[in-house]
Amino acid sequence: MSGETPRLVVVGGGIIGTMHAVEGARRGFSVVQLERDLAPRGASVRNFGLVWVGGRASGAELDLALRARERWEAIAAACPGTGFRASGSLTVARTPGELEVLEEVAARPDAELRGFSLLSGAEARRENPALGGGFLAALRCAHDAAVEPRLVLGALREHLVSTGAYTWLPGRQAMEVAAHGVVDHTGVRHEGDLVVCCVGARPGGFLDGQLAGAPLRRVRLQMLETAPHDGPVPTALADGDSLRYYPAYAGAAAEALAPQDPVAAAWRAQLLLVQRLTGHLTVGDTHSYDEPFAFDVDDAPYRHLLHVAAELLGGPLPPVERRWAGVYSEVTDPGLLYYRAEVAPGVVVVTGPGGRGMTMSPAIAEESFT
């Protein structure tokens, strides 16, 4: 490409695409970002907004998560509208088996690196006084944080606009890819020194051929949000079922856990709970892999998750105000943290981080420029 200022084209307005725009601007690129919808509507706004470091697998995954956590803090300092807060998390043990997992994990050599500390019930309540129910102990992760998923993308775009080197083009669907460029549905060709296609769970026809056979699948989840809670819930909360799903907890104690509640097992459910800045509680989630996905939402996992949350908080939750389902793309190759491929000269696809997307997006974007 000619000219002194390098040009970056980003296809996709979700968190992965937007973090590429942020990283490109930081590196001196002039940035154009296309989004097929008038505003992002996918998994990037249908999630907990958790920067979830503690549960990551040792090695490359944990390293990437820790780097992303560092970048999130720096980005939030320049862009406070993200709602970033370094509030930490508590994973709560309610059974002796779950406590054994927490004790095993807290005694590992990398516990300090992960920001782990094992708290008694009394210590956990001092950390989060909203925990009014019965439980044995909690594992604190000091590195976990939260942002506001319904606000963060708009805040980042507003910050990018202020740089004077960013153009946001909503309602533009990429239709064709070629060397160092894409053509949108209006026939306009967008050229860049680098083009990054962050297609999420809906790649669309223009990349069907390039992604055929890629190690990717889609995952559907269900979540809900309550009315504002009466009082603060200072940390994110996770129940003992989380110990079954995050690789950091794998080991002999996790393998010995008693069978999961039948409803939770059927929906691959774990309780995650985070309070929004408005006081509302976001509660979830479930995992479904069998397509075609249902278009409706099922009440059974919601009842289960609300019951577990009420037991942890020691009383009924506020009324549910909204429920939704989301779909994200997940890489299936266990040797990959996400999927990256060059599909034409100067054009790469980045997708498939799964549930790691919000957490790792700043570090994933960094890797596209190295």
Can you give the pTM of this predicted structure? 0.96
What's the whole-number mean pLDDT along residues 62-79? 97
- Domain assignment present for residue 64? The answer is no
- Domain assignment present for residue 338? The answer is yes
**Tokens coding 116:** 């782990």
Rounded Cα distance, 284 and 281, in Å: 10
Q: What pLDDT, in 10s, does the model give residues 30-57? A: 999 999 999 888 878 889 999 999 999 9
Helix axes 15-26, 152-161, angle to 10 degrees: 30
- Domain of residue 277: give its range: 89-142+216-331
What's the whole-number mean pLDDT along residues 55-75? 97
What's the whole-number mean pLDDT along residues 216-227? 96
Count of domains for the chain:
2
Judged against a pLDDT cut of 80, whether residue 106 lies above it is answered with yes
Q: Are residues 125 and 222 in the same domain?
A: yes
Rounded Cα distance, 81 and 158, in Å: 9
pLDDT at 3: 59
> From residue 88, how far is each of 115, 133, 153, 164, 276 by CA, in Å?
9, 20, 22, 35, 14
- Domain assignment present for residue 121? The answer is yes
Going by pLDDT thresholds of 50, 70 and 90, the confidence category of residue 339 is: very high
Q: What pLDDT, in 10s, does the model give residues 151-198? A: 999 999 999 999 999 999 999 999 999 999 999 999 999 999 999 999
Going by pLDDT thresholds of 50, 70 and 90, the confidence category of residue 1 is: very low
Provide the pairing of β-strand 216-226 with 7-11: unpaired
For the chain, the helix, strand and coil percentages under 3-state DSSP, each to the nearest 5: 35, 25, 40
Q: Are residues 177 and 291 in the same domain?
A: no
Q: Are residues 198 and 222 in the same domain?
A: no
- Domain assignment present for residue 289? The answer is yes
Select from 110, 156, 62 the least CA-distant residue to 356.
62
Q: Are residues 104 and 183 in the same domain?
A: no
Q: Are residues 295 and 358 in the same domain?
A: no
What's the whole-number mean pLDDT along residues 84-93? 98
- Domain assignment present for residue 159? The answer is yes
Going by pLDDT thresholds of 50, 70 and 90, the confidence category of residue 4 is: confident
Judged against a pLDDT cut of 80, whether residue 2 lies above it is answered with no
- Domain assignment present for residue 2? The answer is no
Q: Are residues 187 and 297 in the same domain?
A: no
Q: Are residues 97 and 129 in the same domain?
A: yes
pLDDT at 40: 84
Q: What pLDDT, in 10s, does the model give residues 12-34? A: 999 999 999 999 999 999 999 99
Q: Are residues 239 and 94 in the same domain?
A: yes
Q: What pLDDT, in 10s, does the model give residues 286-295? A: 999 999 998 8
Q: What pLDDT, in 10s, does the model give residues 234-269? A: 999 999 999 999 999 999 999 999 999 999 999 999
**CATH number, domain containing residue 232:** 3.30.9.10
Q: Are residues 112 and 244 in the same domain?
A: yes
pLDDT at 294: 87
- Domain assignment present for residue 167? The answer is yes
Mean pLDDT of the chain: 95
Judged against a pLDDT cut of 90, whether residue 281 lies above it is answered with yes
Q: Are residues 103 and 134 in the same domain?
A: yes
**CATH number, domain containing residue 342:** 3.50.50.60
- Domain assignment present for residue 75? The answer is no
Q: Does residue 164 come out as left (phi exceeding 0), alpha (psi in the -120 to 50 range) or beta?
A: left
Going by pLDDT thresholds of 50, 70 and 90, the confidence category of residue 204 is: low
pLDDT at 201: 74
Q: Are residues 276 and 347 in the same domain?
A: no
Rounded Cα distance, 369 and 358, in Å: 19
Q: Are residues 157 and 201 in the same domain?
A: yes
Going by pLDDT thresholds of 50, 70 and 90, the confidence category of residue 70 is: very high
